Amino acid sequence: MSAPSLTPEIVLHTSPHLHSARSVGVIMRNVVYAMLPICLYGVYNFGISVVALLVVSTLSCVLTEHMFCRAAGRPSSIKDSSVIITGILLGLTLPPGFPLWMAAVGGFVAVGLGKMLFGGLGFNVFNPALVGRAFLQAAFPTAITTYTPALANGRFAEFIPTTLTFPFAQPPVITEWIARVRIDAFSGATPLTALKFDKIGTGLTPLFWGNVAGSAGETSVILILLGGLYLVARNFMDWRITAAMLLSAFVLSGVFHLSNPAAYPHPLFMLFSGGLMLGAVFMATDMVGSPVTPLGVWIYGGVMGALTILIRLLGGLPEGVMYAILIGNAVSPMIDNLTQPRVYGTQRKTGARA
Amino acid sequence: MAHAHGNAPSPSESMEAFLNGLWKQNPVFVQVLGMCPTLAVTNSARNAAAMGLATIFVLVCSNTLISLVRKLVQKQVRIATYILIIATFVTMVDYIIKAVSVDVYKALGPFIALIVVNCIILGRAEAFASKNSVGKSILDGLGMGLGFAIALFCLGGVREILGAGTLFGVSLFGPNFQPWVLFLLPSGGFFTLAGWLLIFTWWKERKKRMAEAQQ
């Protein structure tokens, strides 16, 4: 990854000396391909509002990065596609009827605060999309918890009323609209909210295929897993992080479930519901925010999975993936420090560093 | 400091003592001092203005008195003396605010008493009032106090406008405005302060670059 040298000189390098042709741009474009089926399913599930949501969040992110680059007098870095991923991921984690102007604000905060102020790609401490979402969650707590039914009637003909809210205005109350378009007795709750506040469970089959309420792109477990498998097969993603996160979430929620099956849901429900799958596959594995040591990635994933379950079952919020991953990002440099492997030919000394 | 021992400071020196706090050494935006009240009580323009006025009063009074007694106080006990003087004026402010508005008093809570330990006030006592004449110390206190109050107002105004859609309790955008709850929360204080610091730094860098380009 060395910068091309302008003067003919002998360049001394540590290993690796052989580079593959894959650049940041190639990796990022493949991540976009892996996310496309999820986006399409989101559109099928919730209608044209999701198209508008994804377009606005992505455009807002790209424009913000371009503006910041220009203000800093640097060449624009939007061509490496990483900002497109941020935009799409942000859109996928928002409710389908989320007001577009708020999505634009989220994109600005995600890229401006979460990425460019730290110095751009590679320097950001946190996953930018989640920084944007955390800001939106704190700023507009009502709008970001207003969900609409999946497979609603007429979803390809009209926008969800909240989508087209005038900038800086409050989104309208859509209880009546939901009553008109829903195909079953939808109460406005995602599977996790229904479980936490109304004690209503959801079957595993709809959760697996994805025709349930939720954020625009988090509902279909099968499509997210397929996208992840594609990235793993092309060696663009560290599967150990995803595996560790899902495993620790499964084990911890299994312990809860066995201790009191009436109060705590089945571990598979915990894996398939909410944003855990999307977070574990596409956000926790963000190369910038995760550790690099072999043991570190397992610890990192394990911490995030356990935090997710703890927030969901013991915290006040129905969903905890976002905060779990942000905390995971924050501790990942420390995990790296603690898990430095022994350098070949040296002995690990206690106390002083060799 | 050539005129520091003289009786009357020159007008330009007095002006500088006053303007320093307002702009060049603004306690919040340049020195980044006194962050506790800056972040804690700026969730509305009213609270910010009240805290700003209280600080101006304490700062000017303590600067005056400390400058008056600066030659009488032994070096070893000077900090204790300063704190005693400052605490006296803070107690006065505490009672004044309680008499004027109980609402504001409740909103500011312990932060009125905490003006005693506001590092701006002790900082000006030690760095300026203990070394300068009364007139200049008053001007310094006024400048620093005003600079602090303006900065608090900048934060409180932005936070109230975005967080509630009002300024001094007056609705600006009508009932349909979507409040950004975040800005009324403590984290909103950090975001707003960071935003202002960003603007100031960016503006200063730009000015420096333009000055360099002209040379």
Spell out which residues of chain B touch residue A167, defining contact as CB-CB under 8 Å. none
Domain boundaries, chain A: 24-338
> Scanning the structure block, which residue is given the tokens 């900065």?
B151
CB–CB of A170 and B176 under 8 A?
A: yes
Is residue A352 pLDDT above 70, yes or no?
no
Q: What is the DSSP secondary structure assignment for residue A170, as one 8-state letter? A: P
DSSP string, A205-257: HHHHHT-SSSSTTTS-HHHHHHHHHHHHHTT-S-HHHHHHHHHHHHHHHHHHH
Percent of chain A with pLDDT over 90: 50
pLDDT (mean) for A224-236: 92
Which chain A residue has its CA at the smallest distance from B174's CA? Answer: A169
Distance CA A92, CA A299 (A): 27
For residue B31, the tally of other CB atoms under 10 A from its CB is: 16
Query: Per CATH, the architecture of A24-338 is what?
Result: Orthogonal Bundle (1.10)
Percent of chain B with pLDDT over 90: 57
Q: What is the DSSP secondary structure assignment for residue B167, as one 8-state letter? A: E
Is residue B4 pLDDT above 70, yes or no?
no
Judge if the upstream peptide bond of residue A16 is cis by omega within 30 degrees of 0. yes
Give the HSE-up count for residue A255: Cα atoms under 13 Å, Cβ half-sphere.
9
Q: Confidence class of residue B3 from pLDDT cuts 50, 70 and 90?
A: very low
Residue A5 has a pLDDT of 52
Write the pLDDT tens digit of every residue in A268-315.
Answer: 999 998 899 999 999 999 888 899 898 999 999 999 999 999 999 998
Residue B5 has a pLDDT of 47
Spell out which residues of chain A touch residue B181, defining contact as CB-CB under 8 Å. 138-141
How far B111 CA sits from the closest chain A CA (Å)? 25
For residue B177, list its beta bridge partners.
A169
Residue A28 sits at the vertex; the CA angle it makes with A24 and A33, to the nearest 5 degrees, is 150
Q: Confidence class of residue B13 from pLDDT cuts 50, 70 and 90?
A: confident
pLDDT (mean) for A336-349: 81
Total residue count of chain A as it appears in this document: 354
Interface of A with B in 63-92 (CB under 8 A): 71
CB–CB of B178 and A169 under 8 A?
A: yes
pTM: 0.86
Percent of chain A with pLDDT over 70: 92
Q: How many residue pairs bridge chain A and chain B with CB atoms within 8 Å of each other?
A: 29
Which chain A residue has its CA at the smallest distance from B183's CA? Answer: A139
pLDDT (mean) for B14-26: 84
Residue A64 sits at the vertex; the CA angle it makes with B159 and B196, to the nearest 5 degrees, is 30
Interface of B with A (CB under 8 A): 173, 176-178, 180-183, 185, 187, 198, 202
CB–CB of A169 and B185 under 8 A?
A: no
ipTM for the complex? 0.81
Q: Confidence class of residue B9 from pLDDT cuts 50, 70 and 90?
A: low
Residue B59 has a pLDDT of 95
Residue A43 has a pLDDT of 94
Distance CA B47, CA B160 (A): 10
The tokens of A7 are what?
């003067």
Tell me, what amino acid is at B208?
K
pLDDT (mean) for A216-244: 92
Interface test with B, best of A170, A173, A323 (most B CBs within 10 A): A170
Which chain A residue has its CA at the smallest distance from B163's CA? Answer: A139
CB–CB of B181 and A139 under 8 A?
A: yes
Is residue A327 pLDDT above 70, yes or no?
yes
Residue A350 has a pLDDT of 57
CB–CB of B178 and A171 under 8 A?
A: yes
Residues A322/A130, Cβ–Cβ less than 8 Å: yes
Spell out which residues of chain B touch residue A102, defining contact as CB-CB under 8 Å. 178
Write the pLDDT tens digit of every residue in A73-121.
Answer: 888 888 888 999 999 999 999 999 999 999 999 999 999 999 998 988 8
pLDDT (mean) for B10-21: 82
Write the pLDDT tens digit of every residue in B29-43.
Answer: 888 888 888 888 898
Is residue A7 pLDDT above 80, yes or no?
no
CB–CB of B178 and A135 under 8 A?
A: no
CB–CB of B180 and A139 under 8 A?
A: yes
Average pLDDT, chain B: 89
A169 vs B177, B180, B182: nearest CB: B177
pLDDT (mean) for A168-194: 80
Residues B153/B196, Cβ–Cβ less than 8 Å: no
CB–CB of A170 and B187 under 8 A?
A: no
pLDDT (mean) for A210-219: 88
Is residue B121 pLDDT above 50, yes or no?
yes
CB–CB of B178 and A138 under 8 A?
A: no
Residue A250 has a pLDDT of 96
